[in-house]
Amino acid sequence: MDESERYKLPDPSQDKQASMMPGSPGTPDPQSVARAADLIGQADGLVIAAGAGMGVDSGLPDFRGNAGFWRAYPALAASGIAFMDIASPAAFYEHPRRAWGFYGHRLALYRMVSPHAGYELLRRWGVSKPFGSIVFTSNVDGHFHRAGFAFEGIDECHGSIHALQCLWPCSNAVWSASGYVPVVDDARCELVSPLPTCPNCGALARPNILMFNDSDWIDATHERQALSQQAWIDQVRRPVVIEIGAGLNIPTVRHFSHRVARRENAALVRINPRESHIRQGRGVGIAGSALATLLAIDGLLTASR
């Protein structure tokens, strides 16, 4: 499958102008912002590591615990179904229309919502560097692709909702979800349109996303992306890791940031409204939302040119 096909929208007119409004109140600490701008300014390449908090300023939920999840999906709350229960292959076997009600709603939401302006700031910073930038993200929304980042520079470590695979799976085939338009009864969180099926065997299809208790995720795309990123990292001499919205509940992105910072002696800029501390290595933590903090840093980078 052509990687660019995966992120095509069924109706491009759904795109909305990127929002400039930050999702969290408060002003980032000016000294910390200045330190981050100085580190980014000295880098010859940027490693962007993004968790769920990156999408909050676009209007996407981050599912912090069952309380936050159930606010977004009251039909699942009424049935006592937790995020870990619905975000699993077992849910597709047990109640496929409910599982696709959840993922179909998310697919439609991610198609409708536009990446906020912070994505473009990061893209511009990367373009200005000799080695550019790479992205490592646990987000499955495809927003870095939609924001114009190079396909070969993005590692979606948990997969993408814009790609499908066989539930069984009958093969290692992965195909674009661009032709699939789910219709969901939000009051019941159930798919009312036809279920997607595997073109090879006719079995139920599922998103090509790493779920909980998932031994059937086809990770060939992620493996290819990871190899490409390592080749890039091996070339850069002064990388800076910019970690945004990566929490501790599912610490995949944090582990990646720490690993790159340690191995490459890179500075870490951590942006997080609640968990911004840095215990080891050099860098700076900034307590703030993604967009507000990126705008503040960009103001200093622009002034220094």
Per-residue pLDDT for 25 more than 60? no
pLDDT mean over 185-209:
98
For the chain, the average pLDDT equals 91
pLDDT digits (tens, 9 = 90+) for 104-142: 999 999 999 999 999 999 999 999 999 999 999 999 999
Decide if 100 contacts 94 (C-beta within 8 A): no
- 18 within domain boundaries: no
Closest CA to 236 of 42, 35, 51: 42
Instruction: Say which CATH number the domain at 288 has.
Output: 3.40.50.1220
Task: Put residue 99 in one of left, alpha, beta given phi > 0 → left and psi -120 to 50 → alpha.
Answer: alpha
CA torsion sign for 193, 194, 195, 197 is: negative
End-to-end CA distance of the chain: 41
Domain count, the chain: 1
Share of the chain above pLDDT 70, in %: 91
Task: Give the structural domain span for 165.
Answer: 3-13+23-304
- 99 within domain boundaries: yes
- pLDDT of res. 26: 66
- 177 within domain boundaries: yes
Rounded CA Rg of the chain: 19
Per-residue pLDDT for 198 more than 70? yes
Q: How far apart are CA 243 and CA 248, in angstroms?
A: 13
pLDDT digits (tens, 9 = 90+) for 75-101: 999 999 999 999 999 999 999 999 999
- 198 within domain boundaries: yes
pTM: 0.91
- 157 within domain boundaries: yes
- 93 within domain boundaries: yes
- 109 within domain boundaries: yes
Run of H or E including 88:
none
- pLDDT of res. 126: 98
